[in-house]
Amino acid sequence: MNRFYNILIIGLLAVSCANEEDVTAGKPETFVKYYGGINSDISSDMKETSDGSYILLGTTVSEAASDEEVSKIRLIKTDVDGNVIWDRAYPDNQSGESTNNLMGRAVIEISNGYLVVGDSIYEEDNQELTNMFLLTVDQNGNTIAGKSISFDNASLHGYAVTLTDQGNYFVLATIEGNTAPENMYLAEVSSADLNVVWSQTYGIGDDANISKTIITDENNNVTWSGTTTRNGENDIRIITTPANSKNTFFDETIGLNNGKNELGFDIRRTPFGYAIIGSTNNTAAGDQDILLTRVNTNGKLLGSVTFGGSKNDTGEAITVTEDGSLLILGSTDSFGRGERDFYLIKTDMFGNPVWTENEGVDGKIFGSVNMDTGSTLLETSTGHILVLGTTEFGDVDTMVLIKTDDQGNI
């Protein structure tokens, strides 16, 4: 009965814009769309496709008859107005790509469809283990192939993927439970059969997380960012390496042993080097704020700036716009009317906010009266801003897609 009530709420909210202002009339070509059902659906990534549509990635979680949770990769293709073209979950019990629980974290468009990177979760000797999982589907969502990539005596969690200059794929993962100090995994995977061409490990510390984006340059060098944990302190880490090499151009830890917790979640290339978005607890109130960190092409710190209020605010994703600005997606407890809302910030390349019309808020706040958490964002080919996130209705999570105008208005 509780789930039915939540579904009814979702259906009612899906037909209106849940913004901090009264936006029921809306603006042309902007929208708020919910994609959910009786299961929890948690968003993770999206891309604009070559045909002008959008591909959305998430994980759908349901309860089996045994009261155990079952998770599947969920892919949704929509048109420019957010209307569903197709909606698929994997494994689909037909193709045999995997019978394990699957989780999706990153998606890209490839020559014959789409490639998803995430996790395949299974039990062995009463222990839960994880392999990195690759899934390819065609333009209609039909499974082409699935592949698990394992790491000896450890779990591998897939986070990011991009194309190589030869048409293969770079994939990035974290290593959990490695007996050696390395906790980051980079590999090139063949586009023909998803087999690993080469792999290298990086990183050192007690634990690590990595960014949702891999950056490559004209020489096929690879850059990523993330968070490394040493002695209970979290610091931002950025690495640039040649393909298939342990000899990195640089491997920099920002703020090491300074007593502050600073986390990196996403990274983009800029004219001055790189912009990293994340969070920090180095605030006067002791809460979390959104942290924008700028480094040069050698990974050296150029400067940083924070955004947020008196409560917890986290940076989720970043992109570079056509006009040379930085567009940041965060989640905020400090502003808005809900338990947590989306926080959209536009700055110049130095981190100076562009949208300052609301006193005390360096950006746009929107969301429902429930818990709204951002996942990723992009600027579309038409100049609109697309935000993907998750809204929690009671005990049910639902994917939400928001399209704003070029000024962040719905």
Question: Over the stretch 359-394, which tens digit does the pLDDT of each residue have?
Answer: 778 999 999 999 999 999 999 999 999 999 999 998
Across 90-104, 209-223, 229-243, least confident range: 90-104
CA distance 182 to 173: 12
CA distance 362 to 346: 8
**Where does the pLDDT of residue 15 fall: very low under 50, low under 70, confident under 90, or very high at 90 and above?**
very low
Question: What is the DSSP secondary structure assignment for residue 408, as one 8-state letter?
Answer: S
Q: pLDDT at position 256, please?
A: 73
Q: pLDDT at position 204, please?
A: 84
Look up the CATH number of the domain holding residue 116.
2.130.10.10
And the tokens for 350? 């130095």
Average pLDDT, the chain: 89
In 3D, which of 51, 109, 101, 110 has the Cα closest to residue 74?
Answer: 101
Q: Are 170 and 161 in contact (CB under 8 A)?
A: yes
* Res 349 pLDDT > 70: yes
**Where does the pLDDT of residue 22 fall: very low under 50, low under 70, confident under 90, or very high at 90 and above?**
very low
And the tokens for 263? 């986390």
**Where does the pLDDT of residue 18 fall: very low under 50, low under 70, confident under 90, or very high at 90 and above?**
very low
410 inside domain: no
CA angle centred on 392, ends 326 and 226, rounded to 5°: 40
Across 150-164, 250-264, 389-403, least confident range: 250-264
50 inside domain: yes
Q: How many residues does the chain have?
A: 410
**Where does the pLDDT of residue 20 fall: very low under 50, low under 70, confident under 90, or very high at 90 and above?**
very low
128 inside domain: yes
138 inside domain: yes
Cis omega (within 30 of 0) on the bond before 181?
no
Better-predicted residue by pLDDT, 247 or 24: 247
Residues with Cβ within 8 Å of 338's Cβ and at least 6 positions away in sequence, in order, are 367, 368, 369, 370, 371, 372
**Where does the pLDDT of residue 284 fall: very low under 50, low under 70, confident under 90, or very high at 90 and above?**
low
CA distance 112 to 253: 39
User: Which residue type is seen at 148?
Assistant: S
Give me the mean pLDDT over the 171-195 stretch: 95
Measured between alpha carbons, how far is residue 309 from residues 40, 263, 303, 363 in Å?
A: 30, 18, 20, 12
Integer-rounded Cα radius of gyration of the chain: 20
Give me the mean pLDDT over the 168-197 stretch: 95
CA distance 147 to 132: 8
- Number of domains, the chain: 1
409 inside domain: no
Sequential DSSP letters for 71-113: EEEEEEEE-TTS-EEEEEEES-SSS-S-SSEEEEEEEEEETTE
CA angle centred on 169, ends 156 and 47, rounded to 5°: 95
CA distance 254 to 293: 9
Share of the chain above pLDDT 70, in %: 90
Across 6-10, 179-183, 237-241, 310-314, least confident range: 6-10
What residue numbers bound the domain in which 88 lies? 2-404
Give me the mean pLDDT over the 207-228 stretch: 94
Question: Over the stretch 54-69, which tens digit does the pLDDT of each residue have?
Answer: 999 999 999 776 668 8
* Res 133 pLDDT > 60: yes
341 inside domain: yes
Q: pLDDT at position 250, please?
A: 95
In 3D, which of 245, 113, 238 has the Cα closest to residue 186?
Answer: 245
Q: Are 245 and 274 in contact (CB under 8 A)?
A: no
CA distance 5 to 137: 34
* Res 402 pLDDT > 70: yes
What are φ and ψ of residue 18, in 5° steps?
Answer: -95, 85
CA distance 142 to 136: 9
98 inside domain: yes
Helix extents (H) in 242-393: none
Q: Are 343 and 335 in contact (CB under 8 A)?
A: yes
